[in-house]
Amino acid sequence: MHYGLGIDTGGTYTDAVLLRGSDGMIVDSKKAFTTYPDLQIGISSVLDALDQELLSQVNLVSVSTTLSTNSLLEGTGTPVGLILIGQHPVDKEFPTTDFIVVPGGHGPSGEEEVPLDSEVIREFGIGTKDKVSAYAISAFFGTRNPDHELRAKSLIQKITGKPVVCGHELSQELGAYERAVTAVLNAQLIPVTHHFVSAVMADIRKRGIDARMLMLKCDGSVYNLEDALEKPIETIFSGPAASLLGASYLAKLDTCAAIDVGGTSTDVSAIYHGVPEISASGSMVGGWKTRVRAMKMETSATGGDSHVWITDGKVKIGPRRVIPLCVAAIKYPGLLQKLNLMRLLPRKSLDENYQPTKFFVRTGYASNGLNNEEAEMLQHIGSDPISIHELYKYMHAMPSGKIIDSLIKKRLVQAIGFTPTDALHVRGEYTAWNLDASHMGAELLSRHNGSKKYEFCTHVKEHVARNMAYSQMAFLLPERSRPLVDDLLSGLYPAKFSLKLPIVLLGGPVKAYSEEMSALLDAEIIVPEHADVGNAVGALAGKGVKKVEVLIMPVSIEKPAEDFLIFYPGGREHVVDYREAFERARQIGLDMVLEYENRCGVSKEETQTNISVKNISPENWPYPPLETRITVVGIGNPMMIIKK
């Protein structure tokens, strides 16, 4: 008997599931906290908790993560040097300040227009090798001829010994600016992804498990872990992609909407007839337009671990994630006593950091490049939680919220506070952690709010449920006014949305929200078994989908019946006869698809292929087409591996 292992590492939890190959049933699942900065501790913990006999029979491992997305959104990717070759729009912004424009580049047919200036590249590499961790290269018309990108890559690698990413390796789409941005973001993620992938591979190998190892991409397909190290940009939004596939798999529905309530955020999406919608224009990441194909989805900054705080007597939720009081009280036993000693604070002073339930603790990340104010504050924050009131006492001045925010953003300090998870503990609907800490926190905050603690927690819960409903409806009705969606969910009108497709809820305590969701929306609300590890299930449910486009064009418009160029990912070829060019292009696309599927563990016989052809020519054109685009799509199911 063989089994599949799905692993999902999110900002709060690392989840794992074991799926039986014979019938696709989930036979074991576990959760553990994601551990920073050493991810392998959390991964080892969750795998240690699984049935070890079944784990030893795993022959397929597939993973997903939100770490890449979080890194780009939080601006914590590594510094990158960018080399732009040819006529790039340098008046636009790039995701790095270390870039240079170098003479070179090709024309639309792939012919060299300007020789590459290797000496300028050499000087740039020497001058930046101690400042950056990776390099990105994007040449004008590099998709038509990658020669200049490859020559620059070889030179930079020789000079610096650091990772280099080329634009043509990531996208065959024209659009020099977007391709350059994509290459930079990809280079930023190489260390982040390498850290995660290495942690998974090291743990699996340590256990002696001989398994094919894959990673879910943001479009719902999978690729092997070695490819993930080269193209980590394709892992952005792999977490949300996993939640949608997991929702569909667990609920046994080909058409449904999905709401995934994580610790940091809530993701909404939908799948129709087993096929998720893909953003045709490329995904937006942290405000940057990329050439990365990703599922259509939306994220809101409200999750189970979002900070609940009071200002001007009003309840605020998020956008930052904190460690829930109920969880922190387990990890830090002295926290209960500190909570018990906390008193009401001056109402006018309350802000996101100055709260009776807010504490701070030092993380394990190294502190580099701090200014004097940051260094002074950090020396007072240790491995035990400290309140803002205690910081005031030690520093003899009110701690700067700006400095606290900076230390949190740099991951040197982790905040602890009241969360929606604590509210559910008070209401008795989710009681996995320390109840006393949640009750103490609710008591303190409700006094500042002028309400009773149970009433306060009910309000927090209703706020989260309304955010879930609003996010889902705003996603499903993109052409509608969002204020209209908000009004209809307000309860002020005798009407509510009626949905024809069911909504599947995923996340740890989502069952607690099903009643509120039913009150807000006229829809079938489903909380499937194993909803708490839905993303790990989704990591296994991805298909091996590969799409390759090959282009045929005449060398010269003056001689359209002879001499043709074939453009494909990573190269081009010259063929004299059009029919020969067509067959060669078709075979190139097919070979690339089958080679990809083979790396995913899917054989040629198990791969479904589809070949489509699109010709472009003027009306009554008597010659071969001016452009022939051959698209080869291969679909394989890696799940077949665990049935063998």
pLDDT tens for each residue of 405-414:
888 887 889 9
Higher pLDDT, 545 or 523: 523
Q: Helix, strand, coil shares of the chain as percentages rounded to 5?
A: 40, 25, 35
Q: Which of 289-298, 299-308, 380-389 has the highest mean pLDDT?
A: 380-389
Distance CA 83, CA 101 (A): 6
| pLDDT of the residue at 394 | 87
Burial class (CB in 10 A: 0-12, 13-18, 19+), 494: exposed
Contacts of residue 579, defined as CB under 8 A and 6 or more positions apart, other chains included, come to none
The residue among 6, 543, 588 whose CA lies nearest residue 223 is 543
Is residue 88's pLDDT more than 70? no
Stretch 560-587: mean pLDDT? 90
**Comparing 328 with 480, which gets the higher pLDDT?**
328
Residue 580 has pLDDT above 80, yes or no: yes
Is the pLDDT at 76 greater than 70, yes or no?
A: no
Mean pLDDT over each residue of the chain, to the nearest integer: 85
Section 626-641 average pLDDT: 85
DSSP-assigned beta bridge partners for residue 29: 17
* pLDDT attached to residue 168: 80
pLDDT value, residue 579: 94
Over 70: is that where the pLDDT of 78 sits?
A: no
Check residue 70 and give its pLDDT: 58
**Residue 333: left (phi > 0), alpha (psi -120 to 50), or beta?**
alpha
Can you tell me whether residue 246 is helix, strand or coil? helix
At residue 270, does pLDDT exceed 80? Answer: yes
Mean pLDDT of the region 15-31: 92
Residue among 97, 119, 108, 96 at smallest CA distance from 142:
108
pLDDT band of residue 352 (cuts 50, 70, 90) is: confident
Whether the per-residue pLDDT at 299 is higher than 60: the answer is yes
Name the pairing type of β-strands 256-261 and 503-506: parallel
Which one has a higher pLDDT value, 115 or 492? 115
According to DSSP, the residues that pair with 609 across neighbouring strands are: 634
CA distance 627 to 138: 24
In whole angstroms, give the CA distance from residue 204 to residue 201. Answer: 5
Distance CA 87, CA 138 (A): 11
Predicted confidence at residue 232, as pLDDT, reads 65
pLDDT value for 464 = 94
pLDDT value at 39 more than 90: no
β 323-324/3-9 pair status: unpaired
404-436 burial: b if 16+ Cβ within 10 Å, else e:
bebbbebebbbbbbbbbbbbbbbbeebeebbee
Beta strands in 389-472 (DSSP E): 413-417
- pTM, rounded to two decimals: 0.79
Nearest Cα neighbor of 495 from 506, 503, 487 is: 487
Give the pLDDT of residue 143.
78
What is the predicted pLDDT for the residue at 75? 55
Average pLDDT over every residue of 355-359: 93
* Whole-number pLDDT of residue 343: 76
- pLDDT at residue 596 is higher than 80: yes
Query: Are 63 and 193 within 8 A, CB to CB?
Result: no
508 vs 160: which has the higher pLDDT: 160
Q: What is the 3-state secondary structure (H, E, C) of 543-591?
A: EEEEEEEEEEEECCCCCCCCCEEEEECCEEEEECCHHHHHHHHHHHHHH
Q: How much is the pLDDT for 280?
A: 60
pLDDT at 172: 64
pLDDT at 530: 94
**Can you read off the two tokens belonging to residue 519?**
């009150």
pLDDT digits (tens, 9 = 90+) for 192-246: 777 788 888 889 989 999 888 888 887 777 877 777 777 666 666 677 788 889 9
pLDDT digits (tens, 9 = 90+) for 512-536: 999 999 999 999 999 999 999 999 9
